[in-house]
Every structure is written in C-alpha cells, then in structure tokens.
Structure 1
C-alpha cells in the first residue's frame, strides 16, 4: 500500500473530527435554521460554537466568520463581492501575484474583463513576492490587494506581516488566501491589517466541502462585500442556503485542535522533512522554495526525471503529485513554477510531496532509489 504524500491536496481527518461529524449526522441532525424546536436550537448552537472556534485561530470574533463551501467560494466572495463598492468609489485597481491559486486569479480575470486594472506581481526565484514591489504598485485607485499566505505547490510562505506594514494607512482592502497556512502558521494571520481571510477545513484535517471567509472590521466597519447568491439570508445575507451542520462542526473541531496542537504538528512535519532531505541528498536535485516553506511540503526536480514517469514508477510506494489538484484534470505546465522562471525541463520534472503529522512511515530510501533509476 502506498504512503499518502499529497496532503496539500487534502488531508486525512482527525479522529475527533470524525466523531463530532458523526454526532451531527446520526443524532443531532436538525436544520440550524429551525428555530421552533429544541432540535434546531441544538444544531444552531453547534454552528455558533464552530464559528467561534474558526475565528479563534485568527483571534477574531465569531460574527466575522462567514461559512462557505470552501476556500474557492470564499475567494470568489471576497474578490467579486467588492465589485459594486469599487465601482461606487471609482477605485478599480487590484494587485495580486502570478503565483496565486486559480481560485483567486480567475475571479480577478473576470473583473479585468469588466474594466478593472490588474497588477500581477512576479515572485523572485525563491517564489516570494517582494513587499517592495507591492509598495511600488499601490495607487490611490487600488481597492484590493490579494496575496496568499503559503503557496499550494511549493509551500513557500509569503511575508504577510511585511505586506501589512506596506498597506498601513492605505484604504485598500487586504485579502489573504490562507487555504494552505490557516491553522498551521498561526502568527501572521493575527495581524489586524488583514481584512479578509479565506480558509477551508480539508487542508486542516477536517471535512471537504466547508470553508469560511473571515471579514474583519476596520474602524468598526466590515469590508463592503456584496453577496454573489441570493435566497434565504443566511450568513449575514452573504451566503444563502441550509448550513451543513455536521461539516461546520467538523471544521470547528479541526480549528480547535489546530490551536492546541500546531506546534507539535509542525515539529513532527519538520522531522519528516529532515529525513526526506537526507535520503534525497545524493541525487542531482533542485528544490523549489525550501528555504521558507511549510514544514510539510517539498517541491523539487531531478535532472533527467520526468514527473509523470516518476508518479507512475512510485505507484505502490508513494502517492505524490506534480501540481495543484484543482487544475490537474488536464495537465498544463505549472503557472507557479513558470512565474519562478524555472526552465522547461525543471517544470516538467517538478514533483510535490506533502505530508502531515499523521503520515505513517515513509520509505524515503525506496523513493530515492526509484527516482534515481529514472535518470
């Protein structure tokens, strides 16, 4: 049986998360919107507890948490939801980067097609977006800056606190796609200058299909987001529909466990990374972004090794990937690695290995042997 090394695509569920989801699937299964009986009130209480747990990860009030179907929907709501405000203020400039997830880039492309001006910041060869470049491109027409916390392909952690310093005193809203870093890299997301945070449960040992947009107040006012869908008024009118109580409760438990255990989890992942670097060290390998990356991620190319061939050769040993799961149905070269100015052969050979604190024994020597045989 292969060891699972694709945790950046989705993580396994924590046992405590499974237990609480079972409770709200089998027993306390009522609709949280049913206010006329105690069953609905139990479900509503579970939602509000989870809202508080999710907010606590970034030290914000539960009223700032809007549940969504995942980080993709949260990104769309944060970006497209500002369109009406931007038009009313005649501020139609958006700054983002070339390494963002497609769930950020594609909504921004929609706004570009509607006349918005887009500045696409380029990373350095380590995959980092420079705060200096952000400062150079800010104008009085900038309405939104959208920059990720940690890259899903390389694991590179971006300097959010430096971006926040650049934006201090500027009116632009600062949105962070924190899908990969939420609950793992805690400190940066506590910065109050970050107005909008997108996150999801399934990168944090919780269920798929649930996420949140966190909307912090600035001078007691929330970001002027307008809904993308209508019909029911749930989630402060920003996201209608019956709430999936079991998924929300699972997300809440996952967030609670992240606060309690993130240091121990990170240490466990770092030990795994050290073993990987030791085992792979004898190969002609080029790492992409290891100096400032998540403890749970390695992205690399080996001279002469094609990633598709490697994935096939590693079947039965390790399940790995060569890019984002969200764009893998039709393989195209990674826009992230292209932006980092890697050569064509390096991009074609790039592999992403990602694990977590629950990952079982990894046969690194076998993985190295297989990769070496493909050269």
Structure 2
C-alpha cells in the first residue's frame, strides 16, 4: 500500500501508539510472567501491573477497581453483560429488554439469541437524527423490563446517545442499563461516569492493541449486578471471564488510556479542526450528512454524495484515502446499512453512506480538497 494513503477509518481501529507498542513488547519479553503465578517475582510483577491497569481504567469511568474485569474487547463484554443477565431475568420473570435498531451487531445478535429463548426484545428506531430520545426509552419501560441496552456513540454516524440522562433515570428503577461504549470510551468521559450499570469497552479504538477490552459492572449500593458466567474454566476475573490474563495487552491498554487521557483536550480540538476542514471541502459537492450533527463526536462523519455509488468511490479513492461504508464487522456486505435504514433514510442514501473517521496527529498531512476533486469529477451533473 502506498505510504501517501491517508487512514480515515479509526472507527474500525486505530494504529497502536509507538509508546504502547514498547510497553506491550516489554511485558512480552521481560516481565512476561503469568498474573496468576504466586510463587515467584515474575508472577508478582504481572499481578501488580494488572491491578494498576484495572484501577486506572475503572477510575476513568468513575468505577471502583473491583467493578472492572478484563475481556478480549467490547464484543465479548457485550455478550457477558447481555447473556449473563438472562438467568436473573428468568428467575424474576423480567424478560422484557429495550434496545435500539442502530446497535452494533455485537449487541443485536446476542439479543436475538435471547429472543429465541423467550425474551421480548423491543428495537426502537431513532428517526432521521440517528439519536434515540430518553423519553422514547423511558416510555417503553415496564415493571418486567430487565434491561435497557443503548450504545454510547454510534459506530457509523458518530451520533451520541443520551446514556448519561438515562442512567440517572433508570438508577431509581429495577431496570439495568448496559452501554456499549466501544466508540465513546475516552472521548466523552463524563458520560460514562454517570451511574451506568454495565459498560463495555474496547482498547483498539484509542491506540491500544486489538484483542483487549473491559466490562464494568457497577454496584448499586451493596448490590452487585446479578451476572452469571457464560464461560467456565479457571475462575479468573471474578469467575465471569476465565482464562489466563493477556498481561501485555492489558498493559498496552493501560498505557493507551493514559496517553489518551493526557491528550484528550488536544485530541478534541484537533478533531474538530479536521471536521471543519472536511465540511468546508465538502461544500464543493452535493452531499447529505447522515445523523444529527449537533449531537455527534468530532471525529466521525457519515455522508452520502448525490448520484454516487459508495463502493465505486472507495475504489477510485483507494490510492488517496482509506474510508469505509460502515461497520468493519459488516463492511464485506454490500447490503444497505442497517443503521441508516433504521433511521428511515431512503435506500439510495442508506446504501451509499460513507464513514470518514480520523485520529488527530495520524492524518496531519491529509488535505481534504485533494480527494474532494475526485468526488466533484465523479458526480453526475444536476438534471435540468
């Protein structure tokens, strides 16, 4: 691949920061002990490193150290949170679940599995804004509602969902709130410090290695979220996620989170600057922004160009910029985006949405005007 290709697909994954890579290598080759080994210093150092990481990451969302477990990423965290509550729902007769139709497949598919097991799952549609309202969710809550699962930031549109407001309302009920924070972790820290019961986090969206994440299960007073394990074999991570802890990945996640926290103000300022440059350049074209621009993160922008096929445009631009049509988990499919369709957008728009997402500092040399010229030349003339 040409070195001049600008990478604008950080909603799929980010480059591992060099400092993070150094930390990962250290814990692979020098302090390489198993955090479960209790008979020598290698294990002791690994255990202490993991505990330091756990404390920092938990504190970053306002949780206690013991309320965070490590997983392989947000997908596994989502599965533990959603499927792990099923037994409690069955025991208590609370089988009603509320979610949105714009969730990631890592939430939708576990919930469809629960529906097959007799749970009633309601999928709320957000309308053209791409934002589910707090009132729409609360209006569906019943006495038998076990759970509301709502993502923090949509991975295709960047639209922020009202999870903080919901958390404060639902805390006074017996309904739990789960938030898939894969895209929002680190970017909107105050939202996640609200009293959300379950938070799924992924490391590789903020410069950590792929394959590491966390699940926060916040207590309500003295009461734990009644999760049951969905895997067995070893008892690690409070018996919710058995298996040898990937210490190098955890320490890399820890380092990435520290770096991001230190630089978040600059990241936001530069991300907004990039967004403004993108929007200025886009004015030369005929385009639609998909999603509520007033309630969006600064580094994700989803647009549809009038009269242009998204796949054809990606092929034409591949020597200039790396972009995507939507979620990396479904990008091999040419079907319309389920997110844009759930927003009620016409199929021509939903089939041709393009997601631009950037990480300031990694696209410093990118000039939006250069690829916009390609778009201008490809767009058909306006019909008389």
Tell me how far apart the structure 1 counterparts of residues 349 and 98 of structure 2 sit (CA, whole Å): 28
Point out the more displaced range, 251-260 or 16-25: 251-260
The answer as to 2:139 corresponding to 1:148 is: no
Alpha-carbon shift at residue 263 of structure 1 (Å): 1.5
1:223 is aligned, of 218, 222, 225, to 225
Residue equivalent to 2:236? 234
Moved more, 72-81 or 257-266: 257-266
Question: What's the secondary structure of 2:21's corresponding residue?
Answer: helix
SS in 2 for 1:236: coil
Post-superposition Cα deviations, 1:142-195, rounded to whole Å, max 9, x if no partner, equal 011000100000000111122124324110110000000001111111102x10
CA contact (8 A) 1:17 1:254 kept: yes
1:105 counterpart residue number: 108
- CA–CA separation in structure 2 for the residues paired with 1:173 and 1:84: 14
Aligned equivalent of 1:179, options 171, 179, 182: 182
How many angstroms apart in 1 are the aligned matches of 2:216 and 2:125? 26
Output one character per residue of 1:197-222: Cα deviation in whole Å (capped at 9) or x when no partner. 00010001111000110010102121
Contact 1:287 1:301 in 2 (8 A): yes
1:75-90 alignment runs, 5 A limit: 75-90=78-93
- Structure 2 Cα separation of the partners of residues 218 and 256 of structure 1: 27
Measured after TM superposition, the shift of residue 26 of structure 1 is 1.3
Q: Secondary structure at 1:94's aligned position in 2? A: strand
Taking the aligned partners of 1:157 and 1:22, their CA distance within structure 2 comes to 35
In 2, Cα distance between equivalents of 1:187 and 1:286: 30
Q: Within 5 Å, give how 1:309-324 maps onto structure 2.
A: 309-324=312-327
Q: CA deviation at 1:242?
A: 0.6
| Residue 293 of structure 1, CA deviation | 1.1
Structure 1 residue runs without a partner (length 5+):
none
Quote the offset at 1:322 in angstroms. Answer: 0.3
Cα separation, 2, equivalents of 1:301 and 1:330: 18
Instruction: Specify which of 361, 372, 375 is matched with residue 376 of structure 2.
Output: 372
C-alpha distance in structure 1 between counterparts of 2:59 and 2:247, whole Å: 19
Please tell me whether residue 293 in structure 1 is matched to residue 296 in structure 2. Answer: yes
* Equivalent residue in structure 2 for 1:363, among 355, 361, 367: 367
Q: Distance in 1 between matches of 2:377 and 2:79?
A: 44
CA apart distance, 1:332: 2.1
Q: Is 2:116 the counterpart of 1:134?
A: no
Cα distance between partner residues in 2 of 1:259 and 1:61: 18
The two structures, once aligned, show a CA RMSD in angstroms of 1.0
Please tell me whether the aligned partners of residues 32 and 40 of structure 1 are also in contact (alpha carbons under 8 angstroms).
Answer: yes
| DSSP-derived class of the 2:356 partner | strand
Aligned runs of 1:213-292 on 2, under 5 Å?
Answer: 213-289=215-291, 290-292=293-295
Unaligned 5+ segments in structure 2 are: 380-384
TM-score (norm 1): 0.98
Counterparts of 1:243 and 1:297 in 2: how far apart (Å)?
32
**2:308 alignment partner, SS class:** coil
2:60 is aligned to 57
Contact 2:281–2:372 (CA<8 Å) still a contact in 1? Answer: yes
**Rounded Cα–Cα distance in structure 1 between residues aligned with 2:47 and 2:170:** 37
Matched-pair contact (CA < 8 Å) for 2:208–2:256: yes
Say whether the 8 Å CA contact 1:317–1:363 is kept in structure 2. Answer: no
Deviates more, 1:199-208 or 1:249-258: 249-258
Distance between the aligned counterparts of 1:71 and 1:165, measured in 2?
23
Partner of 1:3: 6
